[in-house]
Amino acid sequence: MNPVILSNDSGDHSWQVSFRPDRGMCCTSLRIDGREWLDPDTAPEYERRFAGLGAFIGPHFHNRKDGKGRPIDELAAFPHTEILKAKGRSDPFPHGIGRYAPWQWEQPEPHRLVATLSSEDEWQGYRLGDLEGYRFQLRYEATLSSDGLHLRLSGEADDPMVMGLHFYYRWFPGSRIHSFVQPEYNHAGSFEPLPTSWTSGGQLEITNPDDFDYGFLPFDGHSGALEYLTPHGTLALHFEDPRRQAVSFQIFRPAESSFVCLEPLSTRNPRALENKSADLSVAFRLC
């Protein structure tokens, strides 16, 4: 299918945002004043294995090892699993089935898109609940207003779950990342003291996230802000759990890559999930 496109030029900036509900509810383009903020070099990986562009996270996190769902060797109907097996991976749907399966969707208004995904839905002859390993219900709502893009991710499941965004932004040389955070960071599931070399003026300031994959807790616990300061303006993300439960974010950038991932998440620690529901609101603005 063609992408679902939301457009709005009624504010200070002109926005055009594209989504693919048929391929994991991925945001495939984020254009502001004609400039693409997602890294187009990641589009081939999105086509090959659903990674890249504006990928979704949920209802589980990266490369789980709990053995739930169908074994990867039984899933030849999904070509991307051959790529994962060649890499030695056992999770057939890293970051959750929501990143891969087709979502049900509607566009009730020109600037609004609502999509849902259920464990009762079927894909390639399989119930999604059998692929994920438990019952779940997910909702993804996108609204494009005069002041920017607003996303609301919510869901519930029989097992602890997470929902989040895994957008691959273009890395512009000379850029920085700012956020007010708590004095610890998440390294592969364990929390450690925040290095002083990552801070400036009492806030997180990352100037060269090279070979970088760490999680952070916003200072307020249940809400936070991320600023991606670039030569082309500052892309500001505000994210929160409306229920005032803990949230976090991940910064991911392989060495010398053309992108950086800023990943708001509906949980404090995505590698030790606790809650069987999720609610995450994310607002994007260009400053």
Tens of pLDDT, residue by residue over 67-110, are 788 888 899 899 999 998 998 888 999 999 999 999 999 999 99
Q: What is the pLDDT of residues 145-174, one digit of tens each?
A: 999 999 999 999 999 999 999 999 999 999
Angle at 268 between CA 174 and CA 184, to 5 degrees: 60
What span, in angstroms and rounded, lies between the C-alpha atoms of 145 and 73?
Answer: 45
- Output the pLDDT for position 230: 98
What are the C-alpha distances in Å from 103 to residues 19, 96, 100? Answer: 11, 13, 9
**% the chain with pLDDT above 90:** 90
The answer on pLDDT for 237 being more than 80 is yes
Contact 220, 255 (CB under 8 A): no
What are the φ/ψ torsions at residue 125 (nearest 5 degrees)? Answer: 85, 5
> What's the pLDDT band for 7 if we cut at 50, 70, 90?
very high
Domains of the chain: 4-286 (2.70.98.10)
| Nearest alpha-carbon partner for 138 in 93, 105, 168 | 105
Cα dihedral sign, 203-278-140-47: positive
The pLDDT of 46-65, averaged and rounded, is 93
- Output the pLDDT for position 65: 75
DSSP-derived 3-state class of residue 250: strand
> What's the pLDDT band for 1 if we cut at 50, 70, 90?
confident
What span, in angstroms and rounded, lies between the C-alpha atoms of 271 and 274?
Answer: 10
pTM (two decimals): 0.96
Return the structure tokens found at 106: 């509607």
- Output the pLDDT for position 227: 98
Contact 45, 166 (CB under 8 A): no
pLDDT, averaged across the chain: 96
DSSP-derived 3-state class of residue 197: helix
> What's the pLDDT band for 228 if we cut at 50, 70, 90?
very high
